[in-house]
Amino acid sequence: MKKLTELYTKCSFKLDGMIRNERGSQTLEWIGIAAVIVILVGVISQAFADDTKIGNAVVEKIEGMIDSIGGN
């Protein structure tokens, strides 16, 4: 029984150490942020593709704003 108690205590301490260990959590956060940025860039690039109505509408609006700033 003593061996079983010692084994339980060792496992308990080891598990507690693993739970409290936060090494790498910041790395995972940065990977998540990078993934969101990559997805946004992909969505934006698809929106501005030549054959999409949304991309053409956005480009026309931006061109109109630039023209109005230039006084044309």
Q: Where are the domains of the chain?
A: 24-72
> Can you give the pLDDT at residue 50?
63
Per-residue model confidence (pLDDT) at position 11:
79
Question: What is the pLDDT, as a whole number, of residue 71?
Answer: 65
Euclidean distance between the first and the last CA atom of the chain, given in angstroms as a whole number = 90
Which pLDDT does position 38 carry in this prediction?
92
Quote the pLDDT of residue 19: 76
pLDDT per residue over 6-24, tens digit each? 888 887 878 777 777 777 7
Q: Which residues, 6+ apart, have CB-to-CB distance to 24 below 8 Å?
A: none
pLDDT digits (tens, 9 = 90+) for 32-72: 999 999 998 888 877 777 676 777 787 788 888 888 887 65
